[in-house]
Amino acid sequence: MCRNIRVLHNFEPPATDGEVHEAALQYVRKISGAARPSKANEAAFARAVAEITASTRTLLDELVTTAPPKDREVEAAKARERARERYAR
17-63: pLDDT as tens digits: 999 999 999 999 999 999 999 999 999 999 999 999 999 999 999 99
pTM above 0.75, yes or no: yes
- Give the confidence band of 68 by pLDDT, cuts at 50, 70, 90: very high
Give how far Cα 43 sits from Cα of 3, 31, 36, 38, 46, Å. 25, 16, 12, 10, 5
- Pairing label, strands 70-71, 11-12: parallel
Give the model's pLDDT for residue 72.
87
pLDDT at 26: 94
Which segments of the chain does DSSP mark as H helices, in order?
17-32, 42-62, 72-87
- The pLDDT assigned to 2 comes to 56
**Residue 3 confidence (pLDDT):** 65
